[in-house]
Amino acid sequence: MDEPTGVPDAPPTLPSRTAFLLAFLSVVVAGCFGGIIGYGLADISAEGGGGAGPLLGALVGAVLAAGGVGIVAVLVLRAQAEWRKTTPGDAPP
């Protein structure tokens, strides 16, 4: 089956690759910072030295921070796609 010429591969309402890349990088950075904060809080509150507490705190902090920013990133990308949506009668430029 031949595809008609002039038909784009992706829908026109799809956010740009830059937006996807920024969303991904923001989740990664938030996960790193969440891990650092979780490690610091668990290390301060841990009695004695070392143990698995700080590592568990880092893991929990990273997952919570990355999950929260991931939710916001998905909502922003969906809003951007809806904002670019055209009515059925409108022709793309």
pTM: 0.74
| 39-90 residue pLDDT tens | 999 989 887 767 888 999 999 999 999 999 999 999 999 998 888 666 665 5
| Domain extent listing, the chain | 17-83
Q: What is the pLDDT of residues 2-32, one digit of tens each?
A: 555 655 566 667 788 899 999 999 999 999 9
- The Cα 33–Cα 53 span in angstroms is 17
**DSSP state for residue 87 in the 8-state scheme:** -
User: How far apart (Å, rounded) are the C-alpha atoms in residues 83 and 7?
Assistant: 21
Please report, for residues 14, 45, 80, the alpha-carbon distance to residue 10 in angstroms, rounded to integers and kept in the order given: 7, 50, 15
| Rounded Cα–Cα distance for residues 11 and 7 (Å) | 9
